[in-house]
Amino acid sequence: MAPSNPDTPLRILLVDDDEDDYLITRGVVAEMPGGRSTLHWEPNFDTALELICRNEYDVYLIDFRLGARTGLELLREKQERQCPGPVILLTGVGQPEIDREAEAAGADDYLEKGRLEPILLERAIRYAQRHRLQEQELERKVAARTAELAAANASLVEADQRKDEFLATLAHELRNPLAPIRNSLEIIRLSADNPPGAEKARRIIDRQSRHLARLIDDLLDASRITRNTMSVERMAIDLSEPLQAAIEACKPKLDEGGVTFHDSLPTAPILVSGDSVRLTQVFSNLLSNAARYSEPGGVVSLTVSESSTHVTVRVTDTGIGIPSEFLSRVFDLFVHGHTLMKQTQSGLGIGLALVKRMTELHGGTVTARSDGIGRGSEFVVTLPLLEQKG
């Protein structure tokens, strides 16, 4: 699929079960710049899916409401069947959650039917086509690179297979922030008279850029683990400081996921010999992991206890749990989790490996516990207390 030649009519398929909406959309399309677009109408969900998968149109306009079904369901089935073509979702009322669901389901843009105008629709179609071409090119390069690596590593065993899975996941994780960044740049370009829209786009770019930076930091740490060059700068610190920093970093993610968080930080200092930045990373990874695999309404807890020689930090969640056969591998590098975890959330398979290595560099240990699928999990970090002289 390529952007239509200016001399060739643009073929548009409208999937909408309301004939009045079809007539309105037809009028908007007729007034689009260029005047060389053809609109075809299909009100039936199943027939529309078959037409989409034939790839005979340049762009698809899909209504959110399709009788007993929804446009999001049609998008998901389109994705499952790997049918190509750019999609713009149309809805009667703009809702941020629908916008996010539409993007996750594979929509290239999202427009309110009540605000549909010829110039706006033409821009959205043009951008959707360009966006889909960029995605296809990126997918082609990733597929080519993955194929090269797979061919080079064909003779390796399980460790090499894990690296192949990691590369595929890495490509996906690095790609995820690119779409909103590209979208936001286009919004800024088109928002000369819409400062709030431009500001929102700039915030998205900032957030996604910081996400990319975190991914790169994780990759560098993974490289240090494999080359055994990771180090920590140890000094006397109060463990409450990295614990509090980790909580502050992860609290927005817990709140966003509808997860209740409890902690019991001690009031008295807990002195350890450690690297505050690295210990913050340890506990941030554990809290982030707990949030990632907890459903809305779940509970995540962080508790601290002391013995005469050690301090123990427990991060407990009521999430999806870990099967017993997987517990022995949960800290392995490039391991993404069991099947249910893969379906629930993505990840590079680095975080828990970093937790283990950095805890060991502090002279401590970390263990994982779970009673099985659906019964939550607990990660226990034990660190030696700083020896008091005199």
Measuring CA to CA, which residue among 80, 71, 97, 104 is closest to residue 345? 104
- Amino acid, res. 256: E
Q: What is the pLDDT of residues 130-183, one digit of tens each?
A: 877 887 788 788 888 888 877 766 556 566 666 656 655 665 666 667 667 777
Instruction: Using a pLDDT cut of 90, give the percent of the chain over it.
Output: 33
What global pTM score does this model have?
0.50
Q: What is the pLDDT of residues 96-123, one digit of tens each?
A: 677 778 788 888 888 888 888 888 888 8
Tell me how many degrees the CA angle 295-110-47 measures, rounded to the nearest 5: 90
Q: How many CB atoms lie within 10 A of CB 273?
A: 16
* The token pair that represents 133 in the structure block: 């071409």
